[in-house]
Structure formats: C-alpha cells, structure tokens
Amino acid sequence: MTQSSARPTPASPTPPGGHLLEVRDLHVEFRTREGVARVINGVTYHLDAGETLAVLGESGSGKSVTAQAIMGILDTPPAYVRGGQILYQGRDLLTRPEEERRQIRGTEIAMIFQDALSALNPVFPVGWQIGESLRERAGMSRADARRRTTELMDLVRIPAAAKRLGDYPHQFSGGMRQRVMIAMALALDPKVLIADEPTTALDVTVQAQIMDLLADLRRDLGTALILITHDLGVVAGVADRIAVMYAGRIVEHADVRALYRAPAHPYTKGLLESIPRLDVRGQELSSIRGLPPNLMAIPSGCPFHPRCPYVQQVCVDEVPHDLVLGDGRTSACHFAQEVHDDSAG
C-alpha cells in the first residue's frame, strides 16, 4: 500500500525536496547512577505529509525515546540529546528555544500514549481535558471549546459524546479511553500524529477498532502518522513504510509490502518468522535466540551479531552501514543482499 493519489494532501508548506518531518542521525543517552546508556545511536527516518510510518522494535530499542525527542518531552535528566537533527518543515527543532518547541507541541505534532488510564489526568473530566488544549492554546471560549470537544468525541466515535463530557477517565473502558486520548491529540489539528503503542494495553478486538479508527482519521484528516509498535500484526494493514529499530538504530527501512515479502535484515527476518501462522502447523514456533543488548555495553560491530544466524567475523569488527537495496529500502547488515535473497527464495 503506497501513497494513493486519492488521499488529500494537506496544504502544509513542506519545503521542496524536503520531508515534513525528518530525524537525522539522532543520538540520545541516559545518564544514570549505573553508567551511561546509549539509547539512540544514529536514528534516521523521515515522514511525508499524509503518510504512515511504522516504527517497529522490541522494548528498549529506542522507539519511544525517539518519539519523545521529536516532541521535546524527554525527561532531562536522565535523557540527553547528544547529536543529530530533527527537522520539521525544514527547521531543526533541536536548536530552537523551549518556548518555540512548546508552541509546536499539539498544534503541529501531537502524541498519543500507550496506557490511556495513566496518561489522562485522573481528577479532571475528559471533556475538560480535551477542551483544555482548545481553551489554553487556541484561545476558544468555554462554550466554543465545549462544542468542539463534543465534535471531537463524535469524530473518534465515542457514543453519546455530549453526555460523557463530564465523566472521568476511570469511568471509561480501555478502548474508549484511548479514543479520548486520540480526540485530545487531534484537538489542535496537528499535521503529525505520533501514536506510541496505542493498542498495547487493549484486548485484541478493541485493538482492531482503534487501528481502524486511526487509519480512517489519517485518511479523512490527512494527518501524517508515526505508529510505534512492537506488534508486526498491527502494522500490516495501516502503514505505508516500516522502520525496524534495534539497539537504538534503524536496522531496516522499507515499503511495508516489500518488507513482509522479503526482509533484508536478519533481525526483521527473525521477527517475521516468530509470528504464529495458521498455515504452518505442528512446527515449533521459532524465536530469535538470545536477549536484547545491554545499552550500557552494546556489542561491537553490528549490535545484533551475538544473536544473528548470519554472523561472520566482519560483523564483530565493523559497524554495518545502511545498504541501499533499491526502491528506497535500506538494511544495516553486511549481508543484506544474501538475507534478502534467502527470504525471497
């Protein structure tokens, strides 16, 4: 599913030749008592207007930290941005003063979080929390904000929205709470929506509903979406492109269909093979051996080499560069072509 021409392209001024949002060689470290953890080690990805990028990876791979760096809501300390650029409409957010970054949050780039119950303030009604952005940021009157809040809650398909404005987060089901989060993020009509594991805390049927909602909203509103997840199943139907993260790096970056058809990085290949399949029965489920790396002592060379079935001496010695495989897909593996051909065959 590549970008179709039917999708409305927003009038946002993306500089010619540039992307709406671009992360370039981002480095973030966490300074703790135990030592320095290098959480993000040169992440590079981009997002164009109206498209969906899935960022895939296991816990601790740096997906959320990258997102929080984009939003400018990293907790410092312990997190420090050590290098790189985050370009939004051509300007580097990392060099901008906090006040300017605050202005961008919510209006340009908005974010929804994994656990809506803890992400919403427990002591304020949901209508108040959605309307807060409208009153505080957009300068709406209480009555206007209330009206718009009801519209937003309708938009995310919360039944009887007008009656539920005064309800508190704990009075909603998990799925409805996540809808409230989405309504809140959309309040100021952002151009980029970052969804950080939006369905992880939900059960499967509700997960599907939320993913459908996000896909519909993206189509109707033309909002670009960064979908952070560790669940390959969630990604397939929604994303245009996938960036796979491992140990704070993008190890593979490809069009979603191309990646599913033939992964070009051993880590992605392992992830795909570990999905239970109905058509291959009676076999033991394969898994990636070993454990995610300790970020305070990342293995030399390719950080995946201790777990990799393709490992050679070069993997221990040299950090692989992104290998371009055509169609804009890249893989940070010394043997990307071999892995790709293996998978395709």
Partner 1 sequence: MLRFILRRLLQMVLAFFGTTLIVYALMFAGQGDPIQALAGERPVTPAQRAYLTEKYHLDATGVGGFFYRYFNYLGGLVQGDLGQSLTGRQISDILAAAWPVTLKLAVIAMAVTVIFGVTAGVIAAIRRSGVFDHATLVLTLLVLGIPTIVLAPLAQYFFGVRWPIFPPTAGAQPSFYALLLPGIVLGSLSLATALRLTRTSVTENLRADYVRTARSKGLRRRRIVGVHVLRNSLIPVITFLGVELGNLMGGAIITEGVFNVPGVGFNLFRGIRTEDGPLVVGIVSVLVVVYLLSNLVVDVLYAVLDPRIRYE
Element (H, E) at 233: helix 232-236
**Beta carbon of residue 300, minimum distance to partner 1 (angstroms, whole number):** 34
Structure tokens at 198: 């939006």
Q: Counting contacts by CB under 8 A, is residue 105 touching partner 1?
A: yes
Q: Which is nearer to partner 1, 123 or 280 (CB)?
A: 123
| Helix axis angle, 174-186 to 142-155, nearest 10° | 130
Binding to partner 1 (CB under 8 A) within 123-152 occurs at 123-124, 132-133, 136-137
Site string for partner 1, 282-301 (x = CB under 8 A): --------------------
In the bound complex, what is the minimum distance in angstroms from residue 281's beta carbon to partner 1?
41
- For partner 1, which is the closer residue by CB, 134 or 308? 134
Quick one: CA torsion of 68, 72, 75, 77, rounded to 10 degrees? 120
Identity of the residue, 131 or 270, whose beta carbon is nearer to partner 1 in the bound complex? 131
**Who's near 314: CB < 8 A, 6+ residues apart?**
301, 334
- Residue closer to partner 1 by CB (options 68, 209) is 68
Residues 158-217 that bind partner 1 (CB under 8 A): 168, 170, 181, 184-185, 188
How many CB atoms are located within 10 Å of the residue 132 CB? Answer: 16
**At its nearest, how many Å lie between partner 1 and the CB of residue 123?**
5
Only one residue has tokens 């929804």, namely 112
Q: Which is nearer to partner 1, 75 or 284 (CB)?
A: 75
CA pseudo-torsion sign 321, 70, 248, 80: positive
Helix axes 126-136, 142-155, angle to 10 degrees: 120
* Interface with partner 1 (CB under 8 A), residue from 104, 214, 245, 251: 104
Helix axes 174-186, 126-136, angle to 10 degrees: 10
Which of 71, 339 has the CB closer to partner 1? 71
Q: Per-residue DSSP letters for 209-227?
A: HHHHHHHHHHHHH--EEEE
User: Per rule CB under 8 A, is residue 106 in the interface with partner 1?
Assistant: yes
The arrangement of strands across the sheet holding 91-92 comes to 35-47, 21-32, 79-88, 91-92
Task: Build a one-symbol-per-residue string for 107-126: x at contacts with partner 1 by CB under 8 A, - elsewhere.
Answer: x--xx-x-x--xxxxxxx--
Which of 40, 43, 71, 87: binder of partner 1 (CB under 8 A)? 71
* Contact residues for partner 1, defined by CB under 8 A: 68, 71, 73, 102-107, 110-111, 113, 115, 118-124, 132-133, 136-137, 168, 170, 181, 184-185, 188
